Amino acid sequence: MADKPSVLFVCVHNAGRSQMAAAWLAHLAGDRVEVRSAGSNPGAAVNPAAVEAMAEVGIDISAETPKILTVDAVKESDVCITMGCGDTCPVFPGKRYLDWKLEDPAGQGVDAVRPIRDEIKTLIEGLIVEIAP
């Protein structure tokens, strides 16, 4: 399906924000959008507090693993959304780039991650309206 928009979420460790964003987009948009996530310096595992926070809303990300950001992942995506990785995301003409300012959930408990999860959901809902009506 060449007409299906693709979105790449990028944060440093690909262990919290980008994993939650990818899960929300896949959950809310279904097969209308192709979803990827990656990190400029991937962590060893997805943040357990992010896993717990997403499980509370019925989304299981426990089997996800952090992935390294590649040039191909950016090339293959229509929209690249960074979340605190700064200039590490390669820029290509014709792509749409967004930078979402979100608190880093690294090292925080689930109580601190819930508001980040909910903020990401709101941003994802707005994104879906824009790219996959």
Active site positions, annotated: 11, 85, 89
CA–CA gap between residue 11 and residue 78 (Å, rounded): 17
For 17-44, give the DSSP string.
HHHHHHHHHHHHHGGGSEEEEEESS--S
CA–CA gap between residue 62 and residue 97 (Å, rounded): 28
CA–CA gap between residue 58 and residue 125 (Å, rounded): 17
Helix (H) or strand (E) holding 130: helix 110-131
